Amino acid sequence: MSQSLLPAEYVESAAKRALAILTADRSGGAGRLVDEPHRTLMRDAKVLLSLVVSGGGGEALRASELIAAAQRRVDALRSLQSSSGLFIGGDNLQSPPDSAFTINDVCDTLAFLPRVGQHGGGRGDEGGGDDPGASNPNAGNAVAIEPVRAVLERIVRDATDALLHGGIHTPNHRWEISAALARIHYLSPDPRLVDRVDEWLAEGVDVDNDGIYSERSPNYAAHVTNPSLTALARILERPALDAVVERNLDVTLALIRPDDTVETLQSRRQDQRERFPLAAYAGAYRIAAVRTGRADFAAIARRAAASAPTDPELLAAALLEPALCAPLPADQSVDRESLPAFAESGETLDAPDDRLASIAVVPSIQMAVHRSDHVEAVLYAGSDYAQAGRIRSGLANNPTFARLFAGEVRLDSIRLSRSFFDMGPFRPSSLERTGTDRFVLTETVRAAYYQPLAPEHRDPDGAYALVDDGRFSAAMAFPLRKQDVVTMRTRVEARLLPDGMDLDVELDAPRLGWSLEFAFAPGGELVGGLRADDGTWILPSGAGEYRVGTTALGIRVSGAALSDDPMPYEPGQDYTFLGGTDAADGVRVRVGGTAPTRFRVALRATRG
């Protein structure tokens, strides 16, 4: 594809990355390439070669130097390929899916590299139209690139059998390996590869009715599942997979936060306690907008692209995907209040106050999102803790049950701690809509005291089964004993308002301590709080205000006797027995008292 047809920002971003690579090499970094992760080596080689093929970079980045730097990286990559065909290094050992990430980049690079005697990239007219490389002014570099191509082809050849027969250990790995097999098949047709892809696809794509993948992770949706399914749809002509991606992008519209991040509370992966950038979705929304003509997708594509520096890998992707260079559908405001698909993912309500613009509910993750002219609020009750009874990698564990954004104020987390047998904070297991703007979040937790074993279950040697009772493990044969159960019920009724929210909290429990914690993003000023020894803040009167710029978010707790020294955040013994915590980051503010109790929390945003 000629440089004139490529968006300038793609070329500029790739050139910036290439300049950083060359500068590092000149400073002695080239001698340490074998210490780089295999995925980094190939990503950088792909960026370098995309500049050569596109004719970008200008005089400061000579093609010969770019090719030489790419050659060093593919040679280092080759040295990391073990006798099994899989790459050395990474979090997982001898991993087919981890190697598939790199092989996908290798195959895409081979697809756009020119061959001797040709003027364009390897995929020619894929996607329709004339040969995208026909006007490539740097086609003469094909001869210089041939040694790079030869190494990459050997890498693919040696990895193919391992990917064809290799296994996986997370849901998204199926689609990453399948995409690699499809790309290998495109370069060198082999029906065995397609058969293996069909074997994985026959399990069914793990997407629910709302468009949420089973891992519920924006990170893996944006970086793995969506691009993999898109590649399979294109290469193997499976349009139904494009429809799956569109469903995921559709529900994601409701999960985009005012700070250009995508909600992660629901995630079952590492990103559940992180902010995930909307920018990672820029390419996917652009491709979908061009394919469907949807103005809301186009608006988010523009917003995502403007929210962060352009991904340097988009230049390579554009050499293979014409939609990344095509004009977007008619412009539309990117204001979050005006996205029509937001209502499609939930409901638009006729509220008494027209500033209560919309409320969307995503049932499969037990989440409600409210957007008005003044605030955006999130309620969440989708933790896996109630079902699994433990904290575990691969489960949704985040105990934040509400967030609130108002102007420059970002209340990232509201959490409720209680000292109930160290079972950790409130993690609601249900979200029920009880009115236009009202929701109820509930949780019931139980702990038991155990009676003596019946005669028929006794062992004179005292050797009983080691069993986990949900709180701890002991050689006590718990299931064979009668129990005396202690129960705690927590109910939070939330009312979503145009300028904030009200939370009516009821703790039905034996006498115990509780604390409600608000975690704000740093950068503001807390008014009305006292600094505790652990660096957190206490609102002894139950009232305070957090200010950032011209926006303030007021907190008022009423109806309960508050402690001057409320208990600190309690992560639960799943963490504390290891000396760990899942405490929120930022400016943490708390109030607390003693249960049983009922109280109200009023949160109100003001500006000016």
Structure tokens at 39: 């995925």
- What's the mean pLDDT in 586-591? 97
**Percent above pLDDT 70 for the chain:** 91
Domains of the chain: 1-204 (no CATH), 207-345 (no CATH), 348-450+486-607 (2.70.98)
At 349, is the pLDDT very low, low, confident or very high (cuts 50, 70, 90)? very low
How far apart CA 172 and CA 176 sit, in angstroms, is 6
Cis peptide before 540 (omega within 30 of 0): no
Res. 136: pLDDT tops 80: no
Which amino acid is residue 595, in one-letter code? A
- Dihedral sign of CA atoms 28, 153, 84, 191 in order: positive
Res. 3: pLDDT tops 50: yes
Digit-coded pLDDT (tens) for 511-567: 999 999 999 999 999 999 999 999 999 999 999 999 999 999 999 999 999 999 999
Mean pLDDT of the chain: 90
At 391, is the pLDDT very low, low, confident or very high (cuts 50, 70, 90)? confident
Digit-coded pLDDT (tens) for 258-272: 999 999 999 999 999
- What's the mean pLDDT in 117-142? 46
Digit-coded pLDDT (tens) for 362-381: 999 999 999 998 999 999 99
Question: Residue 530: what are its φ and ψ, rounded to 5°?
Answer: -115, 140
Q: Which residue has the tokens 């030869």?
A: 150
Report the pLDDT value the prediction gives residue 476, as an integer from 0 to 100. Answer: 95
User: In the Cβ-directed half-sphere of 213, how many Cα atoms lie within 13 Å?
Assistant: 31
Nearest to 467 by CA among 452, 481, 487, 486: 481
DSSP structural state of residue 81:
B
Report the pLDDT value the prediction gives residue 342, as an integer from 0 to 100. Answer: 35
Predicted TM-score of the model (pTM): 0.90
3-class SS of residue 590: strand
Report the pLDDT value the prediction gives residue 259, as an integer from 0 to 100. Answer: 93
Res. 344: pLDDT tops 50: no
Report the pLDDT value the prediction gives residue 350, as an integer from 0 to 100. Answer: 35
Compute CA distances 71 → 151, 187, 596, whole Å: 9, 21, 68
Nearest to 276 by CA among 255, 296, 297: 255
How far apart CA 69 and CA 422 sit, in angstroms, is 55
Structure tokens at 235: 């290469």
Report the pLDDT value the prediction gives residue 467, as an integer from 0 to 100. Answer: 94
At 130, is the pLDDT very low, low, confident or very high (cuts 50, 70, 90)? very low
Digit-coded pLDDT (tens) for 429-487: 999 999 999 999 999 999 999 999 999 999 999 999 999 888 889 999 999 999 999 99
Report the pLDDT value the prediction gives residue 140, as an integer from 0 to 100. Answer: 65
Report the pLDDT value the prediction gives residue 115, as an integer from 0 to 100. Answer: 74
How far apart CA 95 and CA 166 sit, in angstroms, is 8
Alpha-carbon dihedral of residues 308, 313, 319, 323, nearest 10 degrees? -40
Least confident window among 87-91, 391-395, 413-417, 593-597: 87-91
Pure H helices in 113-238: 142-165, 171-187, 191-201, 218-220, 226-235
How many Cβ atoms are within 10 Å of 202's Cβ, its own excluded? 7
Res. 585: pLDDT tops 80: yes
Least confident window among 87-91, 158-162, 397-401: 87-91
Compute CA distances 417 → 192, 421, 510, 515, 518, whole Å: 54, 12, 15, 5, 11
Element (H, E) at 49: helix 38-54
Res. 251: pLDDT tops 60: yes
- What's the mean pLDDT in 196-220? 97
- What's the mean pLDDT in 573-581? 89
